Structure 1
Amino acid sequence: MARYEVNEAAVAKARELIAARQYVLDSEWGDVQPDADAANAYLERHGWADYSGWHLGLKVGAKNETKARYAFAYGDFRRVHRSGLIACIYRASEWRHKQVETAAHDLLQELDRVAGIE
């Protein structure tokens, strides 16, 4: 099974976006999650460093600057999606990537606090 470590740069980016209120509280992640075409377009305009900031997990052993390296997307390349964080928690939990699960959970709690969700 693949192993993932937490992408601390992505956690920091998500925190910045949450603090700036750049988030979506209600969305269907399956409908708004960036597809391959959106990811390719974003990469062309912004490069690998910015692209990686939208993924909470880094696949251990995968080469940098390959799509295989980055996993657990949490936003749409503009905003954090609450549903994206929930999807990260679920997927990381399902595949026992505890550190990624915990990072996504902490971000969800922060988002809910900032948004006033009790």
Structure 2
Amino acid sequence: MTVRLNKKALEHARKLVEQGKVVHDERDDWSEHAPSADEENRYIEKNGWDDYALWHLGEDPDKSEETKGRFSFPYGDFTKVHRCAVISLESRAAQNDHDDIARETKRLLELIDGE
């Protein structure tokens, strides 16, 4: 698995934070706030894979382009960035040695908290 930082998604997340499109929730809320598989499918059907990719900071170029398995480290609910998702993915990225994703996620969290 060769997960790399999705730079377009990072830029998208930063823009959303700068626009105030952030949910300031608590660390453990992501399991309740994360989009369900059905919500993801509806989003893909309506907006396409390129837009879906913008909501994930990780991308595995070895996986097929139009599969959910290609994308990892989601940070929002397709409308807003969730602080709890950013916290969760920073921890997971660090645990799995995705240092570039962990580093950029930490910066994103600082942007959220400094908003």
Aligned residues, how many?
113
**TM-fit CA distance, 1:96:** 1.1
**TM-fit CA distance, 1:16:** 0.8
User: For 1:12 and 1:65, how far apart are their aligned partners in 2?
Assistant: 21
Task: Report the TM-score when normalising by structure 1.
Answer: 0.92
Counterpart for residue 21 of structure 1:
20
**TM-fit CA distance, 1:3:** 2.4
1:62 aligned to 2:63? yes
Superposed CA offset, 1:21-74 (max 9, x none): 000001510100112111001001100111000000001411212111100000
Counterpart for residue 108 of structure 1:
109
**TM-fit CA distance, 1:94:** 1.2
Superposed CA offset, 1:61-89 (max 9, x none): 11212111100000011100000000110
User: For 2:11 and 2:102, how far apart are their aligned partners in 1?
Assistant: 16
Q: Which amino acid aligns with 1:72?
A: F
Instruction: Kindly indicate whether the alpha-carbon contact (under 8 Å) linking 1:75 and 1:84 is maintained by their aligned counterparts in 2.
Output: yes
Counterpart for residue 85 of structure 2:
84
* Shift >4 Å, 4+ stretches: none
Q: Which amino acid aligns with 2:32?
A: D
User: For 2:36 and 2:55, how far apart are their aligned partners in 1?
Assistant: 13
Q: Could you list the runs of 5+ residues in structure 1 that have no partner in the other structure? A: none
Q: Which amino acid aligns with 2:15?
A: E
Deviates more, 1:22-31 or 1:60-69: 60-69
User: For 1:14 and 1:85, how far apart are their aligned partners in 2?
Assistant: 10
Q: Which amino acid aligns with 1:10?
A: A
Task: Report the TM-score when normalising by structure 2.
Answer: 0.94
User: For 1:17 and 1:72, how far apart are their aligned partners in 2?
Assistant: 16
Query: Secondary structure of 1:88's partner?
Result: helix
